[in-house]
């Protein structure tokens, strides 16, 4: 979504754009090419390169040997092998400036570029990896998959942060969509910009009607996200162990309904969520913006400290009344407590914030309007992409 918005912003300023994308397999490349075909109609030349991967291991021992062979971080990503192809593509395309989006793109671009380059490394892979391992519990930690993943993390993951920092130092400019990760780069001596993440406006003209819509009876509290993602699982723990028990003490059962929506299936340890009165599993929703606009409170209970939650920016664009963990604001500092959201650092505080909005329609409406204003000021594609385009224009040599 961010890349599409950026391409449109570059073209609005009169720039030509060419795109090189990496895929993990031939099948994925075919699918990716079909998705990128729409770029041709916009005058964007799109090329896809397939990242070479070893054959799937036939045994646990072979898997460990493969991980050991890929223990150098640059080999782990697999795109180092594409450097000659990337160099050839760059020579042919002859861009004035390059944007390397994600570490996998930074690796070959750093080795092959002959022009200025801006790097956006993406969320720190080591932190993502560490939290994925952390969420594996109990007997699952005895599985070969977990042991293999842990060994791979010890071989590669523990060295990724230093590798990415050193890689970023070779670029003319570096930016991050998560404010906390921009600060981490700065602390490591890399001049790194924080850029608000561009998110398309899927509410449009319907937003005014939804902001003035009467509340549901009972009030609808929406929790939305992939049901198996690390961020969601951390949030479900807080929801199950702290928020729901506190809400049951603070509010009558008929005052609210907690709706959990998202793709995938909940693991067994969280199925008890749906034995509680007033909790409903809605499953996958086709239009997330629509359900965000319709809910009375959008609840993000996850203390996951990695990245900037795109779903929260979508909630801002939908004019939702947001209750979120304070960890969400370290990546999105535009979230401000009692200005455009209610923030709390634990389940007790989050439950108190939900209770307040259930019973205070005036505050709820004020937060909804402020959320939409925050989106339009910072995250609307033409606003958010302007910072990226400005950086690329600054780096590009004058013609």
* DSSP conformation letters of 123-160: S-HHHHHHHHHHT--GGGGGSHHHHHHHHHIIIIIHHH
Question: Does the pLDDT at position 211 exceed 80?
Answer: yes
pLDDT digits (tens, 9 = 90+) for 43-58: 888 888 888 876 555 5
Question: Does the pLDDT at position 398 exceed 80?
Answer: no
List the single range of 118-127, 129-138, 324-333 with lowest mean pLDDT.
129-138
What average pLDDT score do residues 125-129 get?
89
Structure confidence at residue 61 (pLDDT): 52
Cα 325 from Cα 312, distance rounded (Å): 11
What average pLDDT score do residues 362-387 get?
95
pLDDT digits (tens, 9 = 90+) for 140-169: 888 888 888 888 888 888 888 999 999 999
Domains within the chain, CATH numbers bracketed: 2-198+382-395 (3.40.50), 204-379 (3.40.50.2000)
pLDDT digits (tens, 9 = 90+) for 272-307: 776 777 899 898 999 999 999 999 999 999 999 999
Q: Which residue has the higher pLDDT, 319 or 151?
A: 319
Cα 215 from Cα 363, distance rounded (Å): 13
Structure confidence at residue 231 (pLDDT): 92
List the single range of 62-76, 80-94, 144-158, 207-221 with lowest mean pLDDT.
62-76
Cα 373 from Cα 367, distance rounded (Å): 10
Radius of gyration of the chain (CA): 23
Confidence of residue 71 (pLDDT cuts 50, 70, 90): low
Confidence of residue 135 (pLDDT cuts 50, 70, 90): confident
Q: Identify the CA nearest to 275 among candidates 260, 291, 297.
A: 260
Question: Does the pLDDT at position 268 exceed 80?
Answer: no
Confidence of residue 32 (pLDDT cuts 50, 70, 90): low
Question: Does the pLDDT at position 347 exceed 70?
Answer: yes
Structure confidence at residue 228 (pLDDT): 87
Q: What percent of the chain has pLDDT over 90?
A: 61
Structure confidence at residue 31 (pLDDT): 65
Structure confidence at residue 149 (pLDDT): 83
Question: Does the pLDDT at position 70 exceed 70?
Answer: no
Structure confidence at residue 236 (pLDDT): 93
List the single range of 272-286, 332-346, 350-364 with lowest mean pLDDT.
272-286
Cα 391 from Cα 116, distance rounded (Å): 11
Written as six digits, the tokens of 237 are: 């723990």
List the single range of 4-8, 70-74, 170-174, 356-360 with lowest mean pLDDT.
70-74
H runs (alpha helix) in 135-229: 144-152, 158-168, 179-187, 207-211
Structure confidence at residue 308 (pLDDT): 94
Structure confidence at residue 33 (pLDDT): 65
DSSP state of 270: G
pTM over 0.75: yes
Half-sphere exposure of 109 (CA within 13 A, CB side): 27
């Amino acid at each position: 979504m961010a890349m599409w918005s950026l391409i449109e912003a570059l073209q609005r300023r009169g720039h030509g754009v060419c795109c090189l994308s990496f895929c993990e397999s031939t099948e994925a490349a075919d699918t990716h090419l079909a998705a990128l075909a729409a770029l041709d109609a916009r005058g964007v030349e799109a090329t896809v390169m397939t990242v070479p991967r070893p054959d799937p291991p036939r045994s646990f021992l072979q898997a460990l040997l493969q991980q050991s062979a890929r223990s150098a971080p640059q080999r782990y990503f697999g795109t180092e092998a594409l450097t000659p192809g990337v160099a050839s593509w760059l020579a042919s395309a002859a861009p004035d400036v390059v944007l390397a989006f994600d570490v996998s793109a930074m690796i070959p671009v750093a080795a092959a570029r002959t022009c200025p380059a801006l790097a956006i490394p993406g969320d720190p892979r080591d932190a993502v990896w560490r939290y994925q391992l952390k969420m594996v519990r109990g007997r699952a930690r005895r599985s070969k998959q977990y042991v293999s993943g842990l060994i791979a993390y010890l071989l590669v993951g523990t060295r990724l942060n230093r590798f990415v920092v050193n890689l970023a130092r070779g670029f003319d400019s570096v930016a991050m969509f998560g404010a906390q990760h921009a600060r981490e780069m700065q602390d490591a001596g890399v001049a790194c910009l924080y850029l608000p993440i561009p998110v398309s406006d899927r509410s449009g003209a319907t937003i005014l009607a939804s902001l003035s819509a009467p509340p549901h009876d009972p009030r609808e509290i929406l929790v939305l996200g992939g049901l198996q993602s690390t961020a969601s699982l951390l949030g479900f723990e807080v929801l199950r162990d702290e928020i729901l028990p506190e809400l049951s003490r603070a509010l009558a059962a008929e005052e609210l309904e907690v709706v959990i929506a998202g793709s995938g299936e909940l693991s067994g340890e969280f199925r008890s969520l749906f034995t509680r009165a007033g909790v409903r599993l809605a499953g996958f929703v086709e239009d997330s913006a629509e359900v965000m606009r319709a809910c009375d409170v959008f609840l993000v209970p996850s203390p996951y400290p990695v990245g900037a939650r795109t779903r929260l920016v979508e909630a801002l664009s939908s004019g939702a009344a947001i209750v979120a963990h304070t960890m969400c604001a370290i990546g999105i500092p535009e979230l401000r407590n009692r200005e455009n959201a209610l923030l709390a650092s634990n389940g007790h505080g989050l439950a108190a914030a939900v209770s307040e909005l259930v019973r205070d329609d005036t505050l709820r409406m004020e937060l909804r309007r402020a959320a939409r204003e925050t989106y339009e000021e910072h995250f609307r594609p033409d606003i958010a992409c302007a910072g990226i385009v400005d950086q690329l224009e600054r780096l590009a040599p004058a013609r």
